[in-house]
């Protein structure tokens, strides 16, 4: 294993990408969405955090979280959420033929990709770029033509708050939008 060091800022705001194992496209399934909601709520009871932005796509999700001022442990939160969802949904989505010696040794399922990607948000501009990236992601992946057509994100909440217009980043014809996130 590499010596990868994660960010460790108490009270920090972070952008995350979490992916299904082998990019299986089942995250938008109603049972999985329900398990994610329940897993997040259960985790927040013991390990609070705020979800600032969110998008759920068939094979991955992006989110921005802010942790409490005295806490930097986002890893335990993801472990708890992933474990909860796996226990709720794994029998239905389990792929025994994909279990390998490494997964068996670590007692991992075939639901989630190991680990996750995180980026510590540096400032308001960085926050806005990543929030835009999150909300634009369904268009980027060809799932919808307009951001407002995707139901599994916080975009609509931000429209109500006046942060975005309902037609923000809609793509028509050959129009291309660039400069989001990553």
Where in the sequence numbering do the catalytic residues fall? 152
CA distance 167 to 171: 9
The tokens for 181 are 């996130």
Identify whether the C-beta of residue 21 lies closer than 8 Å to the C-beta of residue 110. yes
Identify whether the C-beta of residue 66 lies closer than 8 Å to the C-beta of residue 123. no
DSSP-assigned beta bridge partners for residue 13: 66
DSSP-assigned beta bridge partners for residue 112: 20
Could you give phi then psi for residue 18, rounded to 5 degrees?
-125, 135
């Amino acid at each position: 294993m590499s010596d990868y060091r994660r960010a460790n800022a108490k009270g920090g705001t972070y952008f995350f990408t979490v992916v299904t194992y082998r990019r299986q496209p089942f995250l938008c399934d109603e049972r999985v969405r329900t398990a994610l909601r329940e897993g997040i709520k259960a985790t927040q009871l013991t390990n609070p955090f705020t979800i600032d932005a969110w998008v759920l796509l068939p094979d991955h999700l992006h989110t921005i979280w802010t942790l409490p001022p005295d806490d930097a442990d986002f890893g335990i939160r993801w472990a708890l959420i992933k474990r909860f969802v796996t226990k709720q949904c794994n029998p239905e989505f389990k792929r025994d033929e994909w279990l390998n010696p490494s997964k068996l040794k670590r007692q991992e399922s075939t639901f989630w990709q190991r680990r996750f990607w995180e980026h510590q948000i540096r400032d308001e501009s960085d926050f806005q770029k990543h929030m835009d990236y999150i909300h634009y992601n369904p268009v980027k992946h060809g799932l919808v033509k307009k951001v407002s057509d995707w139901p599994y994100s916080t975009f609509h909440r931000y429209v109500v708050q006046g942060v975005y217009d309902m037609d923000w980043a809609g793509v028509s014809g050959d129009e291309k939008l660039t400069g989001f996130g990553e």
